[in-house]
Amino acid sequence: MSPACKLNTADPVVAEALMQALADSVQLLLDNGIALDATWEQVQFTERGGERIGLPGGWSGMMWSVIISDLIAGEGYSDIEHGNTYIHTVTFDDSDCPVAFGVMAPSTSTDPANPHYADQTRLYSQKQWLDMALCEEDVDAAREGDVVLLEGDVAL
């Protein structure tokens, strides 16, 4: 880090501003009933069929796992208004087939009566992704008629 990027905490004005910002942040959380040691999953959620599902991730343009919800005075965070959707990772090992995992954070159905309305949202909440079939033999093994079934989850 270059000297120009360092925070001069030896400067009393800077130190006081930092302490005030920390105190204001703590008070904001306490005023909204949010414990100081709460995780994102405890204060940020989405609703599926009346069930609140806590979600990881946070608000920032610099994060790969972005979730945006509003802080409502006295209530805490609102339902997610914008965030991750389809997430897919691929890596390679010594085998001929890529190693891939994925999840659809909002699940695969918008119909509350559908059994897939909240399934992948729960997986995402638990930081678990599906093992994705990418090689022909894996796709064939997961195939059931015209549908490819992806089973098994992996904790990331």
Compute φ and ψ for 47, nearest 5 degrees: -105, 135
Cα–Cα distance measured from residue 153 to residue 109, given in angstroms and rounded to the nearest whole number = 19
Residue 147 lies in a domain: yes
pLDDT per position as a tens digit, 83-103? 778 888 899 999 888 989 998
Strand partners, 67: 83
Q: How many domains does the chain have?
A: 1
In the three-class reduction of DSSP (H, G, I as helix; E, B as strand; rest coil), residue 45 is classed as: strand
H or E, element range at 123: helix 119-125
The pLDDT of residue 24: 96
Torsion angle of alpha carbons 29, 34, 35, 36, nearest 10°? -30
Cβ neighbours around 13 below 10 Å, total: 8
Whole-prediction pTM: 0.65
Domain hosting residue 155, numbered range: 85-156
What are the pLDDT digits (tens) for 110-145?
Answer: 899 998 899 988 998 888 888 888 888 887 777 766
pLDDT band at 148, cuts 50/70/90? Answer: low
Structural domain contains residue 39: no
DSSP per residue, 83-109: E--EEEEEE--SSSS-EEEEEETT-S-
